[in-house]
Amino acid sequence: MLKIKLIFFPIMLSLSFFEVSSQDSKKDKLLENVSVFDCEIVTENSIILISDYLINGDLDSCDIVINRWENYCGGSEVLYRLRIYLALVQRQGIQTHVNLFFINDYSDKYLNRFYASQKNDYGNIYTENKAYFSYVPLRSKIDSILISNYTNLLEVGYLTTDEKIICLLFSGNEEAFEKKLKSAKKRESYLKQLSANNAREYKDHTMSYNLYTGFYKSIGKDNFFSYSPIIGFTFSTPLRYKLQVELGIKFRINQDSKNFDFNALGKTHNVSSDYSVFFGGLVGYKVIDKDHLKLIPKLGLGLESVSTGITEDVKNSDKKEYYDVDVPHLSLGIAALTPIFKTNYIGIELSYHYCPYHWDSSLISTFNNNLFSTELLVRF
């Protein structure tokens, strides 16, 4: 049996605990009978040891236990709170551990743990979500110790602005943390930069909407449409994906448009158009995906309706029937986006449009089917 145990001890952390000191041999035996497949028990016993070492100020032993715990069970929110505390006290590797804490989204787990611990049914919440909380019970002894230790660190005089911010977070003072983070200057605080990057990354994982404004004009001669203002609104898939899909509507004010002949209600009308409406979709693909530049060629397909002002009352109804120029609308363009504010983007989109107006048999005049547009877009 002794030989078997010696084979399994390195895997389940036990040898590392025997190395700490002879006076802690009784504590080390907590892990002697742990199954190599049971991370919950390894975590439970690791927390017991770490708590005692923190109380006694034995940081070297604490570091050994944390390393073996992580090797066996992987990283966790609690484990990195411990690593950051040790780094702050030992004055080494602070930024590395803080970056990993936020990059791995442990900040969200920490806040969820913090809020769940304040609820009356925290015990049931933990029981139903043990794996999510990395097998460390809510309101555990280690939580109390870390809150106290981080609070005490705020009293020392050598902490940088970022270190004070992280201590405020882990001392449970979320309001002071948010206030301090907001007031920090971005160029002087990597936490501020990290927070901004995380906010933008989160936004890039969600659906967005785009506002468009610009102008639209026929290409070449025989232009029925002069420079016409455009305003549009589209819903868009998350920017994290290479393939981008938008669905929406765009309005065009046909200012200074020429009159044209249109057949409706059994006769030919000479009319002008006040507005046009496009409804459809755009499919794009990111060919450049840098932090400060997104370049997205797009292909559009939809329906366009050019108003004529010709209507007819529907019998036995208050409704009207509209007689407009209704045709397909194809477009090919490219959009360039750059980030602004905390999570938004601004950009410009240049597009070629092809609208086969001659497909509408009621249109007598000949429209130019080739058009172009220049649009400013803001992505929210």
Beta-strand runs (E) in 197-259: 208-218, 228-236, 243-253
Question: Structure pTM?
Answer: 0.65
pLDDT in tens, 9-21: 333 344 334 333 4
Residues 219, 278 within the same domain: yes
Residues in the chain with pLDDT values less than 70: 1-37, 186-188, 222-223
Q: Check whether residue 252 and residue 132 sit in a common domain.
A: no
Question: Is there a single domain that holds both residue 115 and residue 259?
Answer: no
Using a pLDDT cut of 70, give the percent of the chain over it: 89
Angle at 91 (CA atoms; ends 89, 93), nearest 5 degrees: 115
Neighbouring-strand partners of residue 276: 252, 306
Q: Residue 43's pLDDT is what?
A: 93
* Neighbouring residues of 275: CB distance < 8 A, sequence distance ≥ 6: 251, 252, 253, 254, 307
Model confidence pLDDT, tens digit, residues 310-363: 998 888 777 889 999 999 999 999 999 999 988 999 999 999 999 999 999 999
Q: Which domain holds residue 233?
A: 207-379
Are residues 228 and 248 located together in one domain of the fold?
A: yes
d(CA 169, CA 308): 63
Domain boundary among 203, 220, 239: 203
76 and 44 within one domain:
yes
| Whole-number pLDDT of residue 148 | 95
Q: Please indicate, yes or no, whether residues 45 and 194 belong to a single structural domain of this protein.
A: yes
Q: So what's the pLDDT on residue 371?
A: 93
In this structure, what CATH number is given to the domain that contains residue 349?
2.40.160.20
